[in-house]
């Protein structure tokens, strides 16, 4: 008899465990919470099944009716009655499920089919209770969020995915009518439906990644819109405006008015790109305007924005919108001469006029070894241009030079000196060079004649080799192939413009330094110029100044810069000097020049005394 009673009890316990195992983890946690089990949220499914089975009280047949009636009402589609039953038996529904199993254990005559049906009814009641809890939780979440569409639930209670057919299928599986593979397949479908439902709920409540991405995009758009609105500051009547002027430096995403020269400074003014586009501003423009003085207690910006634009290159901004672009201007050979001769004793300028004349739009190289007097030659050229051609805008760009030479240039010439000494980083060298050439281009666009004296292009190439990002292609001497393009772009900007305007660039190039890098840089620029002035270290060591190698110095198309008669006399002079060695030729030329007051008188004397003259 004991064995007979033990067998149904074991069967009931096994069916209870099987029923609990068929429930989802979220349902088991809900049942454990109702039973007051602590720590259920962190338990695994197997542990929850064991703990819930141990906490189930045996209450006999009383717990059998409510789950069974709830299941039958669920199957028959009576949603309202089921919800009322669940609400009434909410606190004890999960306990009743196992209690009715215990009641069936006491009924020995009850067959296996009745026990399975009772277990299925209990599971259906649990599913209904879990569903009711989920619906109430969604309702509370929608009510708590102000922007949630509370009245537009995608899965209303009357059309819940867990319909009577689905519950019937679950009852069939629990009663043994389904095959062994059907529960796994249906359970997978239920999990997919639950995942879809949770994803929809998360999307409706704004918790999905897609929703968060949309919110972030909206915030970014609002920020960009706000910045666009603040790009053009509004000036009020009580604002105090301060005048500002400087050179415009346009970068990738912003622009500045450099008020302290060509390098960035603490008093620079910020210029919005909308103002740059609206007024047709370009890098290198000299602009004047006003900035707003910060109020007391107001957060101080690092750079005050430009609130008013008054002039651009000395004229109104409207006139600058129709100016031509430098790259579209037509380049020509130099046709108008820049005279270097000033006084009878200025031998440097007189030799340059004879051996390598300079014209407006010339692209010339002063090739010099160290200590050959290139700085003195550049100073003489600058002073000669100032005296003979005051209409020319003269700019002296000193890159990686000694500070005392910068001071010497500033005191001995009246040119605009733009300098970055050797104790500054390579980025400063490249910055002033780029802004200086852009400034010169803006003047040429206005029809002005500009002369740039660059000392020197070899050091500028070294600076770009340090500052420019590496391209991966290294030439001999450690020169990056990409580092040679910016200096060539700088040097190549020199040209004589058709119908007015010219940009003349005379740059020094170092040779015989013992550096392979300097040789590579010089070879890159060797064929780009149309004028070359060679200095000699041997002449400088013998203190023969100016140490100009007259035979190696020349100008391309020099016949465009002088008359035919002058050209013939100079060619005869060259034929005579080419037969002498370097030192003898220079000494002979200097001796003849010192006996005359100017080059015109010298040419007359040469035409009379040179063999082979007519």
pLDDT in the model for residue 141: 58
The answer on pLDDT for 379 being more than 70 is yes
Q: In sequence order, which ranges of 23-92 are alpha helices (DSSP H)?
A: 25-34, 45-55, 62-75, 79-88
Given a cut of 50, whether residue 269 has pLDDT beyond it is yes
pLDDT at 52: 83
Q: Give mean pLDDT, residues 16-32.
A: 80
Known binding residue 60? Answer is no
* Residue 360 known to bind ligand: yes
Which residues of the chain form CATH 3.40.50.300?
331-609
Statement: residue 277 has pLDDT above 60: yes
402 is in an annotated binding site: yes
DSSP-derived 3-state class of residue 221: helix
pLDDT in the model for residue 377: 96
Token pair belonging to 48: 């929850």
177 annotated ligand-binding residue:
no
Q: Give Cα separations from 36 to 30, 40, 56, 286, 565 (angstroms).
A: 10, 9, 12, 80, 118
Does residue 213 surpass a pLDDT of 80?
A: no
Residue 442 marked as a ligand binder: no
Are the CB atoms for 338 and 359 separated by under 8 Å?
Answer: yes
How far apart CA 162 and CA 299 sit, in angstroms, is 60
Flag whether 154 is marked binding.
no
At residue 1, the pLDDT reads 45
Residues of the chain with CATH 2.40.50.140: 241-321
What is the pLDDT at residue 58? 45
Fold of 241-321: OB fold (Dihydrolipoamide Acetyltransferase, E2P) (2.40.50)
Q: What is the pLDDT of residue 387?
A: 96
Judged by average pLDDT, the poorest of 166-175, 294-303, 518-527, 548-557 is 166-175
This prediction's pTM: 0.64
CB-based contacts of 515: which residues, under 8 Å, 6+ apart? 477
**What pLDDT score was predicted for residue 280?**
94
Interval 496-511 mean pLDDT: 96
The verdict on whether omega for the bond into residue 559 sits within 30 degrees of 0, i.e. cis, is no
168 labeled binding residue: no
Q: Does 189 count as an annotated binding residue? A: no
Is 77 annotated as ligand-binding?
no
361 marked as binding residue: yes
pLDDT at 93: 45
* pLDDT score recorded for residue 494: 97
For residue range 584-599, what is the model confidence (pLDDT) as tens digits? 999 999 999 999 999 9
Is 374 annotated in a binding site? The answer is yes
Q: Give me the pLDDT at residue 12, please.
A: 53
On the question of pLDDT at 394 being above 90, the answer is: yes
Tokens, residue 72: 């039958």
What is the spatial order of strands in the sheet that 286-292 belongs to?
269-271, 255-258, 241-250, 286-292, 306-312
Q: Does 362 appear as a known binding residue?
A: yes
Average pLDDT of span 118-127: 58
CATH topology of domain 331-609: Rossmann fold (3.40.50)
- 283 assigned binding-site residue: no
pLDDT at res. 610: 75
Confidence grade of residue 312 (pLDDT, cut at 50, 70, 90)? very high
For 62-83, how does the pLDDT look when each residue is reduced to its tens digit (9 = 90+)? 444 444 444 444 444 444 444 4
């Amino acid at each position: 008899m004991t064995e007979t009673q033990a067998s149904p009890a074991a069967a009931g316990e096994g069916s209870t465990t099987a029923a609990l195992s068929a429930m989802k983890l979220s349902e088991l946690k809900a049942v454990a919470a109702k039973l007051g089990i602590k720590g259920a949220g962190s338990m695994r499914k197997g542990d929850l099944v064991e703990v819930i089975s141990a906490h189930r009280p045996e209450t006999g047949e009383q717990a059998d009716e409510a789950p069974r009636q709830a299941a039958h009402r669920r199957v028959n589609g009576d949603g309202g009655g089921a919800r009322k039953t669940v609400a009434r038996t909410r606190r004890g529904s999960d306990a009743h499920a196992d209690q009715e199993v215990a009641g069936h254990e006491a009924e020995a005559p009850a067959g296996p089919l009745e026990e399975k049906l009772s277990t299925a009814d209990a599971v259906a009641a649990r599913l209904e209770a879990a569903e009711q809890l989920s619906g109430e939780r969604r309702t509370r979440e929608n009510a708590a969020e102000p922007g949630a569409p509370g009245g537009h639930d995608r899965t209303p209670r009357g059309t819940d995915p867990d319909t009577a057919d689905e519950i019937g299928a679950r009852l069939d599986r629990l009663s043994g009518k389904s095959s062994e593979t059907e529960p796994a397949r249906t359970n997978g479908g239920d999990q997919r439906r639950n995942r879809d439902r949770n994803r929809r709920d998360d999307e409706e409540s704004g918790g999905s990644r897609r929703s968060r991405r949309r919110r972030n995009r909206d915030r970014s758009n609002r920020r960009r819109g706000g910045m666009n609105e603040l790009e053009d500051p509004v000036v009020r009547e009580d604002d105090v405006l301060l005048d500002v002027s400087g050179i415009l430096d346009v970068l990738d995403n912003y622009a500045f008015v450099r008020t302290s020269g060509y390098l960035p400074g603490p008093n620079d003014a910020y210029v919005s790109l909308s103002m740059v586009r609206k007024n047709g501003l370009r890098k290198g423009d000299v602009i004047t305007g006003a900035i707003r003085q910060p109020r007391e207690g107001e957060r101080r910006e690092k750079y005050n924005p430009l609130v008013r634009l008054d002039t651009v290159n000395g004229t109104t901004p409207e006139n600058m919108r129709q100016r031509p672009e430098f790259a579209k201007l037509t380049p020509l050979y130099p046709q108008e001469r820049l005279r270097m001769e000033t006084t009878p004793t200025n031998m440097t300028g007189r030799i340059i006029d004879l051996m390598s004349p300079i014209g407006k739009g010339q692209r010339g190289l002063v090739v010099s070894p160290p200590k050959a007097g290139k700085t003195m030659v550049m100073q003489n050229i600058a002073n000669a241009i100032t005296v003979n051609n005051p209409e020319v805008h003269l700019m002296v760009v000193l890159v990686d030079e000694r500070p005392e030479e910068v001071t010497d240039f500033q005191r001995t010439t009246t040119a605009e000196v733009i300098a970055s000494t050797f104790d500054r980083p390579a980025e400063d060298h490249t910055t002033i060079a780029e802004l200086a050439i852009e400034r010169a281009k803006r003047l040429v666009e206005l029809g002005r004649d500009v002369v740039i004296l660059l000392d020197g292009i070899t050091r500028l190439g070294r600076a770009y080799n340090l500052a420019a990002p590496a391209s991966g292609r290294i030439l001999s001497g450690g020169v990056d192939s990409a580092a040679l393009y910016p200096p060539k772009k700088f040097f190549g900007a020199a040209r004589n413009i058709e119908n007015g305007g010219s940009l003349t660039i005379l740059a020094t190039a170092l040779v015989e330094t013992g550096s392979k890098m300097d040789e590579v840089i010089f070879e890159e620029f060797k064929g780009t110029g149309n004028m070359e002035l060679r200095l000699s270290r041997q002449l400088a060591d013998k203190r023969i100044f100016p140490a100009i190698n007259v035979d190696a110095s020349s100008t391309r198309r020099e016949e465009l810069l002088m008359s035919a008669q002058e050209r013939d006399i100079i060619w005869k002079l060259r034929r005579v000097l080419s037969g002498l060695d370097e030192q003898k030729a220079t000494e002979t030329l200097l001796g003849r020049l010192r006996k005359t007051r100017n080059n015109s008188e010298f040419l007359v004397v040469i035409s009379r005394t040179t063999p082979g003259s007519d």
